[in-house]
Structure 1
Amino acid sequence: MRKLVIAAVLLLILLAAGWYAGETWLSNRAREMVGGSGQITAAEVTPLRNPARVGLRLQDVDYGTAEAGFSAPDLEVYAPVSAPNTMTVDLPRQMQLRLGGAPIELTLEGGSARASISPTHEMTVRRAGVDARGLAVGGIEALQALDLDARLVHRGAAAPQGSAGAYAIDLSASGIALGALPERMEIAGPVQLWLSAVPGQAVLDGRAPPPAPTGIQTPGIEIAIGEMQARLIGRIEADENGYAMGEAAFYTDDARGFVEAGVAAGLIPQRGAMLANALIGNLAETGSPADQSSAGTVPETARDRAETAPPLSGEQAMDQVVALPPPAPGQIRLPLVLRDGEMRLGPVKLGPAPRMIR
């Protein structure tokens, strides 16, 4: 019994020494990487010295360029001992975001970002997520809660051309502030995202650029503002020139209420509201033009699969091309069509389509 106790103590000492040496090595390696990187700087890098996790504390962190990036007084990056392949960053309570060179002050009540990697598959990111609570921008509350979880899945038969990887995403956001509008917006639903490459060691090392999105679709994201409800369904993918192509639609029985909310929040100008209300009135009388205007935006073979495949549920539903169903009785379908580098709301041209791949 005495020898067993001595052996257990020696084992604990060896584990503690390994943990201590590992964090010391990590901090030294991180200092070298920070010193040799033009993207990230830190005034000091020190081990956490927390027995429950292996990690580092970075002081006065700055990432990115003068035009786009962020800075924070400190960051903790660690892997729990119980899950050594999952890197976690505790989001700082205060940070500064730079967009177009303009600084934006952000504060958080709490949150974290995490990524699980596969060491045997070139450090592929197989799962990632973000959770945040009490986000304020410039001292004004902007978001009460955000939860996002992305899981690496098979590309499936619905993958757009040029896709090398896919993630199934579960999104939930509540308490989203919309300008002066007193009601808050809530969003929740599944999303399928395809990428030109799977993030891995080359991206982490800076030897390869971050992958570009090749397609995105959802069978239904629920949107609520106060008592108003809507659902977003659609699929967008990159065309041969890299521009967004496809169709999406908002389904709601209170379309005019959403337009009024957009005006009250300062998101829709009065002229835009007049055009939107005219379109809503036209759709209420004649039905949606989406079926006619969107013909050809989805490859014929993919459209055939979408129309003939049996209905699926859960993650399986994200393995087939999403098609726009007809609106339910009392609903209006507001179609957003992207084709030939243009974006239209029904027959109304909104402007150029965004570029997905450069």
Structure 2
Amino acid sequence: MKRLITVVAVLAAAYAGYWYVGAQAVEAGARAALTEARANRWGDAGAVTLAGFPSRFDLTFDGPRLQSPDGSIAWAAPVAQLFALSYRPNAIIAWLPPEQELQLDGQSYQIRNEDMRASARFGLATDLPLAEATAVIEAPEIAASGLGPLGKARQLRAALAEASPLEDLPNAPTYRIGLEALDVDSLLLGAPIPRVTLDAIAALRAPLDRASLEAGEMPRPQQVDLRGLHLDWGGKRLDVTGMVTLDRAGNPDGTLELRTQDWQAWLSEAIARGLIPAKQQILIGSVAQGLAQQSADGALVLPLSFRGGKTYLGPLALGPAPRFW
């Protein structure tokens, strides 16, 4: 028994020493990152504390603030926390408080939620490549100073994970992206959105790792395989799939396929919102009806194409193609 007690005591002391050394490294790393953020003027925080002995590393930042290099985007919160199991430090969980503030081009926005958490797992390499990440926000609301409430939702979910490369870009770092929003409501929408989901594969120009974090800029996609965008809105459903290539300036090239059985309702909505010029309404309506009659289930299937800096819906030119950055 005495020998067993001795062994347990030695193991406990060794583990306590491991936690202490690990805690020192985690806290030093956090303070170094904060010092760098201050020097580069893209972030700051008040006190940084660490707790969680013996099984976790719990980092707490008081009054964290982040901003873009040009100051056009800024975020602040009373507190933020990062958690990691001491025996699995490459997997972290982040928690943000119920009230936060966002600044966009001088306009202040208040963000509220019932719970906001995210998790991430990094590869065991010096450049810390992101392997997977998830985020869940319960009952988010956003309001603008001087304008009042802008929108809310029951839940927002996002997920990202490393994926097999796309055929055209076998050497590009590739990730699968999933998004889901439930019961989205806003005065700008006119009618609530019960559910919208997105499933896509994105080939980026650089991996999501420590280098991209230190650069302070998210690597941009060069090709997106949209496996499915599904929207339910005001009793209307829309499904979108397709592949789009993006150049370094953010100009798209490719085709997205829009499919809906509720095309008449969507057409009426577009006309009511002034999205379709009056002189084209009869022509577009006739073309849509003719295409829908060719489908076995009466669904309208339209190619939305981007080429040469312009957007085409089927054979009709709609105007300039959007630039994504």
Name the TM tier (shorter chain). 0.7 to 0.9
Work out which of the residue numbers 230, 239, 257 in structure 2 matches 1:231.
Answer: 239
Stretch of structure 1 that moved more, 84-93 or 129-138:
84-93
Partner of 2:320: 351
Say if 1:256 and 1:280, in contact at 8 Å, map to a contact too.
no
In the alignment, is the contact (CA less than 8 A) between 1:178 and 1:185 conserved in 2?
no
CA distance in 2, matches of 1:127, 1:259: 39
Query: In the aligned structure 2, how far is the partner of 1:192 from the partner of 1:5?
Result: 54
The answer to whether the 8 Å contact 2:79/2:96 transfers is: no
Establish whether residue 61 from structure 1 lines up as the match of residue 64 from structure 2: yes
Change (3 A) 1:42 1:222: same
Q: 2:177 aligns with which of 161, 169, 177?
A: 169
Deviation of residue 209 (structure 1)? Answer: 4.3
**Matches of 2:283 and 2:4, distance apart in 1:** 80
Pairs within 5 Å for 1:223-302: 223-239=231-247, 242-260=250-268, 269-270=273-274, 272=276, 278=282, 280-287=284-291
Query: Alignment partner of 1:353: what SS?
Result: coil
Which residue in 1 is equivalent to 2:95? 90
| Larger relative contact order (CA 8 Å, sep ≥ 6) | 1
Structure 1 residues 55-74: Cα deviation after superposition (integer angstroms, max 9, x where no partner): 31001111014311211111
CA RMSD, Structure 1 to Structure 2 (Å): 2.8
Q: How does 1:153-232 map to 2 (within 5 A)?
A: 153-159=163-169, 164-179=172-187, 181-206=190-215, 209-232=217-240
Amino acid at match of 1:142: K
SS of the residue corresponding to residue 89 of structure 2 reads: coil
Which letter maps to 2:285? G
| Corresponding residue number in structure 2 for 1:301 | none
Equivalent position SS for 1:75: strand
Q: Please, what TM-score do these two structures have when normalized by structure 1?
A: 0.77
Matched residue type, 1:331: A
Q: Which amino acid aligns with 1:181?
A: G
Partners of 2:174 and 2:19 in 1: CA distance: 35
> Deviation at 1:167?
0.7
Q: Distance in 2 between matches of 1:144 and 1:262?
A: 27
Alignment equivalent of 1:118, drawn from 119, 123, 138? 123
**In the alignment, is the contact (CA less than 8 A) between 1:20 and 1:49 conserved in 2?**
no
Distance 2:280 2:127 in 1: 49
- Which whole-Å CA distance do the structure 2 matches of 1:150 and 1:122 have between them? 18
Percent of aligned positions that are identical: 20
Greater mean deviation of Cα atoms: 136-145 or 57-66: 136-145
Seen in structure 2, the aligned counterparts of structure 1 residues 167 and 276 have a Cα distance that, compared at 3 Å, is farther
Q: 1:279 to 1:52 in 2, by over 3 A?
A: farther
Cα displacement string for residues 138-172 of structure 1 (whole angstroms, at most 9, x for unaligned residues): 15552211222211122131438xx6211112322
In structure 2, give the amino acid aligned to 1:229.
R
Task: Find the counterpart in structure 2 of residue 307 from structure 1.
Answer: none
What is the identity, as a one-letter code, of the residue corresponding to 1:114? Answer: S
Q: Output the CA distance in 2 between the equivalents of 1:196 and 1:271.
A: 34
How far 1:187 moved relative to its partner? 1.4
AA at the equivalent of 1:6: T
Corresponding residue number in structure 2 for 1:71: 76
How many residues align structurally? 312
Residue 211 (structure 1) shift: 1.3
Task: State the 1:328 CA deviation.
Answer: 4.8
Q: 1: CA distance between counterparts of 2:196 and 2:117?
A: 20
CA distance, structure 2, for counterparts of residue 67 and residue 144 of structure 1: 29
Give the unaligned 5+ runs of structure 2. Answer: 144-148
Residues 63-105 of structure 1 show CA distances to partners (whole Å, capped at 9, x for unaligned) of: 0143112111110012234642112211321111122232211
Deviation at 1:241, TM superposition (A): 6.1
